Structure 1
Amino acid sequence: MTMLQRGGAEVALAGFHRTATPPADVAGVAPIPLGHTADGKLAARAMSVVGRRMSAARIAARLGPVDALMARNLEQLAVAAAVRRHLGRVPLTYELLDIHRLLLGRKGELLRRVEGALGAGASQLLVSSPDFVAAYVDPLSRLDLPVALVENKLLDPPAATPPRTDGPPWRVGLFGALRDRRSVEVLGAAAAALDGALDVVIRGRPSPAIFADLDATVAPMPHVAFAGPYRPDGLAALYGGVHFIWCIDYYEAGANSEWLLPNRLYEGGAHGAVPIARAGTATAARLADLGIGHVLDGDPQRALAAFVAAMTPERYAAMAAAVARVDRTAFVSDAAECRRLVGLVAGATIPTTHAEAA
């Protein structure tokens, strides 16, 4: 949303909320609440979507005249497609934020048909990782749309990062939306095995569907600390407090986890933290392209423990210097990218083809 605003768009916002009450303000905009949803409760979320589609005329009236619509996931696409019928034939952009497991395999055929039918009226598809196109859009989906790649980069140049302390202990950060139990277990096991050479810092908002009590989960793990959520304006201190950033995800291993490019790749890179990825993933391929970071292969706990045990201040300095040499545009969007996005959504420019996005 902020990217659209900085590209020159006036944004009206409507969406579901996972907090008990809807937020009063999002980036300076009062949102139109569409209802409460929760992680994992897919049946309830589906019913919420049906209800909002039945209220499409009322939602359209609250939005008022618009030049374009943008739906940031399949649930929002279902609502936006219905609302669009009351707004005229304005361009509709569908953004594929993640490839949900329910869209895959034989069991996903019905949902893919629904996605294809809803997407038939869209102008284009936005993806945040090229692997979404190669692994899902082209071979499996029923979407026949031009595709544009818009990565989850930072929107503000990073603030000055505090000098990092020398290791050991070497600090690895796991930051962001916390929904990956296996990563916590791998990091905890490696920290225990290294007995003081590795500290793990976990920050963010745990998914209640995965972690009923993350504090209790990490309490028995030596050298692992969960320090709660963080604010976007605290990224410099957050990433400056760790040497490495964990860019590994097992939440949907074998599928979406292999294909995504996580936010913390961009946040960590912009703030000088050295990224750690898993072999065979889109993140590992991106690190190879940039010439930075470290890729774990084989058993992750053993590979991480071996990597940290062999780390020296000199080796770390060389790895950090490689991150510092990367052009900042790899991690941070500039004004031109924001304007390009507005142009794409408004239908003023032509997005890339499937082949170019992949």
Structure 2
Amino acid sequence: MRLAYFVHDLGDPAVARRLDMLAPRLAEAVVIGFHRGATPPATVAGWPAVPLGRTEDARLGRRILSVLRARLRLGAIGRHVRGATVVMSRQLETLALARAARARFAPGALLVQECLDVHRLLVGTAPKNLALRRLEGWLLRGCDLLLVSSPAFVREHLAPAHGAALPPVLLVENKVLAAEAFGQTPPPPALPAGPPWRIGWYGVIRCRRSLLLLADLVRRLPGRVEVEIRGRPARNVIPDFDAVVAATPGLDFLGPYDRRHDLPAMYGGVHFTWAIDYYEAGANSDWLLPNRLYEGSLHGAVPIALARVETGRWLAAHRAGLLLAEPLETALPGYFATLDAAGHAAAAAAVAGIPRGDLVEDGAALAAALLRPRGHGAAVPPAAGRPVEA
């Protein structure tokens, strides 16, 4: 396929992962989008990048203005879109650009939208929420395919908001890519049974309540529980992140990591992986299925999740994971205060029993959906993937 990929952030590692997933089926690709850093990258996953300007995280209003400015200069990107067989967008704001570019420069291309999060401004009854949902519905009606990373996005938001107006939907979970799983360094030797019981919190670190819960846990059980944090802290959301870490012995931040090489050692060095998120509680945080769920399970770390959210439901269906009920201020210390080697071994064995195909993704289903010419039957072939029903 020849792909024109419109993204909200050229530096988002998830953008590179999607390109890596499709790489075996790509003849050409170009990544068109905004950037958060001072200097945009020249390439993403080896494909040329076309910057549209700098934007800021967590400021949707400003990002929409940036999209409107880019829309006025749409002709400047025409040469990058002509000849595309697939025009794909990663976030709602870039779908407006992708839809206009497809119509003007590649009318025969599939228009595909990825829904990997539901922004908080799309949820609620205020006039701005209703207006954004109407915009979302109008934009989605022009799409040939909608990709979701969790069925709860359809069940809880997309279907109630837009109903029959939705395009065909394909579930593509945030699994570990097969190329990553097979290309990584060997895992370290088996971690001795605790205590100390080690919890890993990896990825985008944006939940302040999680930070405070984990800090409280290691303070209550000194020497019995340790927490390791790695990834990208959202300091605009957790401004006291560094202060909390510095003030809490046993709670350590070790900086960023390389997905291609570091996952076995990271998860192999902890007994549990933190898969709880309150950042947008009651909405996106309750509906998502995060990368760390699949990464931790694949590498033997027992996921810790709330039983009532989609992550907990996924684990319950697989009869695995540590599923907790609130309040966590008592549930967490209560569990770890009495955990012994036999209890952890049983939890780890349940995780090891999750089928590998439920944790690793080869991209075949997505490629099958994207390689169908526009207008040639259903966008999602019956045997190609997991269509999602409302």
Aligned equivalents of 1:52 and 1:36: distance in 2? 11
Among 125, 144, 150, which residue is 1:129 paired with? Answer: 150
Query: Does the CA contact (< 8 Å) of 1:147 and 1:352 recur in 2?
Result: no
Compared with structure 1, are the counterparts of its residues 213 and 185 closer, same or farther at alpha carbon in structure 2 (3 Å cutoff)?
A: closer
Compared with structure 1, are the counterparts of its residues 43 and 339 closer, same or farther at alpha carbon in structure 2 (3 Å cutoff)?
A: closer
In structure 2, the partner of 1:50 is 68
Tell me how far 1:15 sits from its aligned partner: 1.5
Among 164, 181, 187, which residue is 1:157 paired with? Answer: 181
In structure 1, the partner of 2:268 is 240
Aligned equivalents of 1:26 and 1:288: distance in 2? 37
Among 301, 310, 315, which residue is 1:282 paired with? Answer: 310
In structure 2, give the amino acid aligned to 1:221.
T
Tell me how far 1:43 sits from its aligned partner: 2.6
User: Is 1:69 equivalent to 2:93 in the alignment?
Assistant: no
Q: Indicate the SS of the match to 1:285.
A: helix
Aligned equivalents of 2:373 and 2:296: distance in 1? 28
In structure 2, give the amino acid aligned to 1:197.
R
User: Is 1:351 equivalent to 2:380 in the alignment?
Assistant: yes
In structure 2, the partner of 1:208 is 235
User: Is 1:182 equivalent to 2:209 in the alignment?
Assistant: yes
Query: Does the CA contact (< 8 Å) of 1:6 and 1:339 recur in 2?
Result: no
More strand by share: 2
- Cα RMSD, aligned residues only: 2.1
| Identity %, equivalent residues | 44
Query: Does the CA contact (< 8 Å) of 1:129 and 1:259 recur in 2?
Result: yes
Among 161, 167, 170, which residue is 1:145 paired with? Answer: 167
In structure 1, the partner of 2:13 is none
The more displaced of 251-260 and 39-48 is 39-48
Segments of structure 1 that go 5 or more residues without pairing to the other structure are none
Q: Indicate the SS of the match to 2:56.
A: coil
Compared with structure 1, are the counterparts of its residues 215 and 141 closer, same or farther at alpha carbon in structure 2 (3 Å cutoff)?
A: same
The C-alpha deviation readout for 1:123-150, integer Å capped at 9, x for no partner, is: 1211100000110011124752111111
Query: Does the CA contact (< 8 Å) of 1:18 and 1:38 recur in 2?
Result: yes
The C-alpha deviation readout for 1:100-136, integer Å capped at 9, x for no partner, is: 1100111211001111122221112111000001100
The TM-score normalised by the length of structure 1 is 0.94
User: Is 1:224 equivalent to 2:251 in the alignment?
Assistant: yes
Among 118, 130, 134, which residue is 1:99 paired with? Answer: 118
Among 312, 317, 334, which residue is 2:362 paired with? Answer: 334
Q: Indicate the SS of the match to 1:298.
A: coil
Compared with structure 1, are the counterparts of its residues 62 and 339 closer, same or farther at alpha carbon in structure 2 (3 Å cutoff)?
A: closer
After the TM superposition, which segments of 4 or more aligned residues of structure 1 sit over 4 Å from their partners?
344-349, 352-355
The C-alpha deviation readout for 1:205-229, integer Å capped at 9, x for no partner, is: 1113213353223111231111111
In structure 2, give the amino acid aligned to 1:304.
L
Tell me how far 1:196 sits from its aligned partner: 1.5
User: Is 1:113 equivalent to 2:134 in the alignment?
Assistant: yes
Structure with more contact order per residue of length (Cα contacts < 8 Å, sep ≥ 6): 1
Tell me how far 1:260 sits from its aligned partner: 0.3
Aligned equivalents of 2:22 and 2:223: distance in 1? 45
Tell me how far 1:338 sits from its aligned partner: 5.1
Q: Indicate the SS of the match to 2:360.
A: coil
In structure 2, give the amino acid aligned to 1:208.
R
In structure 2, the partner of 1:191 is 218
Compared with structure 1, are the counterparts of its residues 327 and 346 closer, same or farther at alpha carbon in structure 2 (3 Å cutoff)?
A: farther
Aligned equivalents of 1:53 and 1:268: distance in 2? 41
Tell me how far 1:154 sits from its aligned partner: 0.8
Query: Does the CA contact (< 8 Å) of 1:7 and 1:342 recur in 2?
Result: no
